[in-house]
Structure 1
């Protein structure tokens, strides 16, 4: 693989370009942001937080890491990587550096899979951003400290610490899209790739933990402002989990853990095996 950490960061205070040193990222106005010992930088301002510890908890991050590293969502990672490389091949000359942000990266699983899948002729500049410091810390710990493949940043999708027009691709995986910000940081012709849960996604588990299922929210079919549609595809497959620990990890890593009633969580905890439907939609938008 041919990957490197993304460089075009912006100061969250004034939007000026940040320059790295051995221990910090600094802007021309003198604002400085220390690089943590794990290699990530925290660019989330206090006024951008809704709580003292926003985003996924340490327990949620650990559960997601165990679940994803077991390969249960490997087909999703493959579809995403293929969509990214297809766009890179069509949009850029061979051997041109292709910059990609995972906005809401969690522990970095999808970026690691993307880096592993990159062909030798595809040069990637990668960045993972998440509002959870625990998620970014976990992602940075799993990267190669001597030769890291990604830039890891604590930040918010609502205020991306990225220079305008600096990215070729933004991934939003089961996340919270902020389309105006995505449009700002993408180059013309850049790709916004969104992964959304379909109506049957994990339905078998949801049938157990909820008394009734709410009607699914309709997906957006009209391009958001500043974007044109490049189409979408649906990925469906069945997944069998045959131990209580893995089922518990799946539940804990999703919002369903907090939305379910106590009775619903107890029902899930009693499961020793379950076969689930994975139903996701991959939507591609082009920055115009």
Structure 2
């Protein structure tokens, strides 16, 4: 198994290729970006920020890390790893590592699971990008415990700091898809894997925190421009949460924490156990 950090980065200011030298990445026009001591690079210029500290907070990142490391979403990670590695197997005759970007990677759980699932015969080039500096910091710290597996980048899906047509796959896990950017960075035949909440995802938790549930959106996905449909599948299973801490972590890592009323959050905080349904849709699209 050969796992290496993805290198085809682009300057977020002018889109030109970045090259690494000493402890910084720089473009031909002289824009330079230092590598933080924790091993990540910040490619989110201030003009691309919508707030002073965008993305998930430090508290949300810590909650998600505890929840995911407990294995609660392991079946989702296993499914995604198998899907990515099956595409990598098809392309292994290219002689180049199979490159994969997790666009909205959080603290890096899914890329670490992917790296662990790769066989000795599979070569991967990985990059995790998130708009939250706290998420990228957490991912880089985890990665630093061993030989670096990925390039960890603070950046935006709306302006991916990636060179055009350089990626074999893009993951968008419960994130904010920017299909035009995904299409730009993917090679012809590259795959976009989107994971989105299904109609019953965390339904039991939502029934606790909201007075009523909104009508579900249509599950039929539109074909994004520049792509053809590859497959559509569901991952669904029951999940038993024991103890207030696990329930609190689940709520804290989702947008429901801010959407629920104080009364709804209080009802969730009073629970000692909760069985919820994990229900996600996995859409796979091929770049034309």
> Shorter chain as normaliser: what TM range?
over 0.9
Q: Which residue of 2 aligns with 1:48?
A: 48
| Displacement of 1:90 | 2.1
| Residue in 1 that maps onto 2:121 | 121
* CA spacing shift, 1:145–1:17, aligned 2, 3 Å: farther
Structure 2 CA distance for partners of 1:195 and 1:146, relative to 1, 3 Å: closer
Secondary structure of the structure 2 residue equivalent to 1:171 = strand
- Find the residue that maps to 1:93 and give its secondary structure: helix
Q: Is the 8 A contact 1:102 1:129 kept in 2?
A: yes
CA shift in 2, pair 1:183/1:208, >3 Å: same
Aligned length: 288
Match status 1:77 vs 2:80: no
TM-score, length basis structure 2: 0.98
Query: Which residue matches 1:101?
Result: 101
State whether structure 2 residue 45 is matched by structure 1 residue 30: no
Higher mean C-alpha deviation, range 203-212 or range 84-93: 84-93
Cα distance in 2 for partners of 1:100, 1:223 equals 21
1:244 aligned partner: 244
Match of 1:21 in 2: 21
Cα distance in 2 for residues equivalent to 1:222 and 1:90: 26
Structure 1 contact 91–189 (Cα < 8 Å) conserved: no
Residue 12 of structure 1 corresponds to: 12
2:198 is the alignment partner of 1:198: yes
RMSD: 1.1
Structure 2 unaligned runs (5+)? none
Correspondences of 1:1-288 after superposition (within 5 Å):
1-93=1-93, 96-144=96-144, 147-288=147-288
Q: Quick check: 60-69 or 136-145, which moved more?
A: 136-145
For the 8 Å contact 2:91–2:98, the answer to whether it is kept is no
1:164-208 deviations in whole A, cap 9, x for unaligned? 000000000000000000000000000000001000000000000
Secondary structure of the corresponding residue to residue 157 of structure 2: coil
Query: Residue 152 of structure 2 aligns to a residue in which SS?
Result: strand
